[in-house]
Structure 1
Amino acid sequence: MKNTFLILFVIGLLFGCGNKELSHKETVTTYYKVFDSGDFEKLKTVIHDSITLISGDFLMPFDKDSFNEFYKWDSIFKPSYEILELVEDNDHLIATISQKNIRNAFLKNNPLKLNVRVSFTSSKITKLEELDYIDVNWKEWNQQKDSLVNWIKINHPKLDGFVNDLTMTGAKNYLKAIELYEGRE
């Protein structure tokens, strides 16, 4: 009987340790590391069943399947995320992020630095709200984007619309548009 109790205790201890809940900081750190690594299965462990991204006036609600499409879109640009700072703010976390990728490089703002308020439900991420950008040259960004969009519209109309297509195909078209635009002369 003693051995059975001891075995059950050890099994319970082992399984209990495996289910340790991550802190908010650990959850956010995992989230951004996973964006770098390309492991969506791991990402699913730190996001809630629904997640909302807020960027200015744009509200983008996702379930896990549709978020996987956004994740694929982001991955095409070969991102690299660095967490510069994590600050607890009541039930939220404010993350200062540096994001490098091919798209930001073309738009002349690489790395792109921003503050994001992260919200949680049951210790999983439910919302990421972009609060403000740090030292972003929006004039340069918009000039680059507008030049690219207008040139593609005239010279490669089949790719038109790439800038608003947040699917993997849209990201591939975005990269193709950049390649064509940069090779135009």
Structure 2
Amino acid sequence: MQKIILILVVVLLAFSCGSKKQEPAELKLVKKYIQALNQSDYSTVISLFKDSVRMNELVYKSTFSKQQYYSLFQWDSVFKPTYTIEEIQWMDGYVEMKVAKKCERILFLNEEPIVTKEQVYFDEKGIKSVDIIEYIIFNDELWNTNREKLVTWTANNHPDIDGFLYDQSLEGGLKFKEAIYRFQKIDTVQN
């Protein structure tokens, strides 16, 4: 009888420990989303959203059709972004995470990765929205200064690629990247 009770206690303990380690499906979904972003895998990213992509940034709210998001995704992918989840937790209805993003554009403009606090909301079909609720690391003054230097220099020296700043398409991204490359190349030669 003692052996049976002991076996039952061991089985119950093993079962309860195993269930505590079970990660909520929403956490897995967010990790899959970040992994797909890191791999520039549009098909996987878009499959995780219901029918449109909602990206909210502080007070700015944006809803993209899948086609509209594809254009933005291509633009962002030009700069080879990498996302690192620094913290993540399930908050009873949404996932909250701290994410560091770096890419050629961000490192040029901000001179270090941007770190944001984000909340990801869900519906029955997947991710409903990704909301940036706080910029933890972002140097607005440095960003604006570096952007203005690049835009002015490009307009004066390479009008063939000017106008990239507000063109969030693949072509605009390629021009933006080329402007950074040319600017850094001339800066390296001068120093």
TM-score normalised by the shorter chain: which range applies? 0.7 to 0.9
1:81-120 aligned within 5 A: 81-120=83-122
| Matching residue within 156, 176, 179 for 1:177 | 179
Deviation digits for residues 33-79 of structure 1 (CA, Å, limit 9, x no counterpart):
00111222222321121111122443321112221222211111111
Tell me which stretches of 4 or more aligned residues in structure 1 moved more than 3 Å: none
- Displacement of 1:102 in angstroms is 0.5
CA contact (8 A) 1:99 1:110 kept: no
CA distance in 1, matches of 2:61, 2:166: 14
Map of 1:35 onto structure 2: 37
What secondary structure sits across from 2:50 in the alignment? strand
Q: Which moved more, 1:135-144 or 1:168-177?
A: 135-144
CA contact (8 A) 1:91 1:119 kept: yes
CA distance in 2, matches of 1:55, 1:146: 22
What secondary structure sits across from 2:168 in the alignment? coil
CA distance in 1, matches of 2:39, 2:149: 32
1:28-67 aligned within 5 A: 28-67=30-69
CA contact (8 A) 1:95 1:116 kept: yes
- Displacement of 1:164 in angstroms is 1.8
Map of 2:17 onto structure 1: none
CA contact (8 A) 1:98 1:114 kept: yes
Map of 1:167 onto structure 2: 169
Identity %: 26
Deviation digits for residues 59-114 of structure 1 (CA, Å, limit 9, x no counterpart):
32111222122221111111111111112233222121011111111113322111
CA-based RMSD? 1.8
CA distance in 2, matches of 1:79, 1:180: 20
What secondary structure sits across from 2:116 in the alignment? strand
Q: What number of residue pairs does the alignment pair up? A: 164
Task: In structure 1, list runs of 5 or more residues that go unmatched.
Answer: 1-21
Q: Which moved more, 1:113-122 or 1:26-35?
A: 113-122
Which residue identity does 1:150 align to in structure 2?
T
Larger Rg: 2
CA distance in 2, matches of 1:88, 1:164: 36
TM-score norm. by structure 1 comes to 0.80
